[in-house]
Structure 1
């Protein structure tokens, strides 16, 4: 993860509104009105509407910005992983709490915008994994698209479950504390699995590959008939 604080870089009015919207949506959900967002940004509702036109357009820009943070962070590390970079990222992980809260809220809300956010995150994952393969830091895959979708699904689902288990009695989540706990508890086993693997033999993989080849051969024969 890059060390720059992602929500404290651009202090223009438009950026302040966007950053406030990310924080407010993450804390309160997407039913929150534009007046609350404008108040959090320290601007008038009229100025918010001037910059974004509608709440839907504001959310779309928030989606794009959040995905950009994740993509750049992952790409930076895939291209040039270093011990110092990893330790810095772990030390500063709490600064990503507004971004994570926003993503979680989006997936929980469901609907077309949530599906769009997920599909774009899968496409971004495929891109930064490919960059890692090109840089020699990631192993190549027989099916890069499927691998990207798997990692986005498992990573996102696992994080959401972890955060769900860290709600207080009122159903609220301290995302900063939860992210720190997630890093402390999940990082080492996760990196161990991705680095060293889990299974000691190829039986399961070879079985699935043979079955896939058999199905592909059958489909090809049917198409040629």
Structure 2
């Protein structure tokens, strides 16, 4: 049985394909794609294995449907979070629906850690969306200019994705019971403090790095 709570409407309120998809998302998130069988998904969904093949063709086809479903949810939230009001709305939804949040994060963690096509899509999506948000913020004046918006986006995205790939180590460092909403709630404010106020009190380290990197660049360009 999956250790992840059922979320969303009751099974009887969903169409059969949606019921199967939601059950598969929970199974894949809990056990991983390779270890999850069509039979186990069928049992979780309360349908026959043959019905899964009828609707999705194969376990791979079902996985693709689950990937698309989760990616669409992630993309929708990323778009909503680009505004202050949207950010507050998404954050409040996380607080109101912790089971849904934990399920999505668990699914993404599996995808990234298993080095699946979905994992690569997630990484690309997170980086691209982060860059878009940064460039939009710079354009509207809500973010400070950057010398390299793409590199900054990669750094910010990798920091976020580390919470998926290094969840066990983060849990241990924070003495947390698992990767869940409580853990992300604890990290959210310090992270936003860093993004809002910065870490250093002056630009001494920035200037030191610029000086060293500039000298190195000049040396490498000499004939």
TM above 0.5: yes
Which range moves more in the overlay, 129-138 or 40-49?
129-138
Aligned length: 210
Q: Whose RCO is larger (CA < 8 A, sep 6+)? A: 1
Which range moves more in the overlay, 89-98 or 182-191?
89-98
Q: Give the structure 2 partner of residue 47 of structure 1.
A: 51
Whether contact under 8 Å (2:112, 2:164) holds in the other structure is no
Relative to structure 1, is the Cα distance of residues 56 and 128 closer, same or farther in structure 2, using a 3 angstrom cutoff?
Answer: farther
Which 5+ residue runs of structure 2 have no aligned equivalent?
A: 1-6
- The whole-number CA distance in structure 1 between the counterparts of 2:64 and 2:40 is 18
SS in 2 for 1:194: helix
Relative to structure 1, is the Cα distance of residues 217 and 24 closer, same or farther in structure 2, using a 3 angstrom cutoff?
Answer: same
Relative to structure 1, is the Cα distance of residues 71 and 53 closer, same or farther in structure 2, using a 3 angstrom cutoff?
Answer: same
Asked if residue 35 in structure 1 is aligned to residue 36 in structure 2, the reply is no
Match of 1:15 among 15, 18, 24: 18
Q: Give the structure 1 partner of residue 190 of structure 2.
A: 189
Give the root-mean-square deviation of aligned CA atoms.
3.4
SS in 2 for 1:81: helix
- The whole-number CA distance in structure 1 between the counterparts of 2:135 and 2:196 is 17
Which range moves more in the overlay, 58-67 or 131-140?
131-140
Whether contact under 8 Å (2:23, 2:45) holds in the other structure is yes
TM-score by length of 2: 0.74
- The whole-number CA distance in structure 1 between the counterparts of 2:61 and 2:213 is 43
Which 5+ residue runs of structure 1 have no aligned equivalent?
A: 1-5, 168-172
TM-score by length of 1: 0.73
Deviation at 1:174, TM superposition (A): 7.2
- The whole-number CA distance in structure 2 between the counterparts of 1:162 and 1:77 is 23
Which range moves more in the overlay, 62-71 or 130-139?
130-139
Deviation at 1:60, TM superposition (A): 2.8
